[in-house]
Amino acid sequence: MIYNPILCAGIIGWAIAQVIKFILFFVQNASVQLERLYGSGGMPSAHSSMVCAAVIMAGRVEGWDSSVFAVMFICAAIIMYDAANVRLEAGKHAKQLNQIMQKLFTQGNSKEKEKEFKELLGHTPLQVVCGAILGIFIGAFLPVSL
């Protein structure tokens, strides 16, 4: 049987975060939004959970002083920075553009409504931290071998 613990940790980290995101959305909004099972943005960050689970597992499997761990750690830092900064700001821009477009359409300047920009792209720092903590626990407790 083929078992790659680093890959499995990352996938499980992502999947658990997405399920939590789906459940939290349902509890907060009393409605089902299937996009929460695979989409970006929201609590917790699935990107952070995925990379942190993989990083911790890489440290456990390859060694904390290995090149694999070092490269994965750097990639995880970049991904989490991007989620909490670049993608979060892009979502804010999308929200403002959608508001501008809505005003234009309500003023009768256009007969056709354009597709709205996706606003939920990034994460708040808290969402990133929660995703990272989830991933660290998954990476720490998932078995190294089957």
38-68 residue pLDDT tens? 887 788 999 999 999 999 999 999 999 999 9
Query: Mean per-residue pLDDT for 111-137?
Result: 82
Each domain of the chain, given as residue ranges in start order, spans: 5-141
Q: Is the pLDDT of residue 117 over 70?
A: yes
At residue 109 the predicted structure's pLDDT band, cuts being 50, 70 and 90, is low
In this prediction, residue 111 carries a pLDDT of 57
In this prediction, residue 77 carries a pLDDT of 96
7-40 residue pLDDT tens? 999 999 999 999 999 999 899 998 888 888 888 7
Q: What is the dihedral of CA 96, 99, 105, 108, to 10 degrees?
A: -100
DSSP characters for 64-102? TTSHHHHHHHHHHHHHHHIIIIIHHHHHHHHHHHHHHHH
CA distances from 32 to 59, 78, 80, 99, 134 (A): 37, 32, 27, 25, 23
| pTM score | 0.82
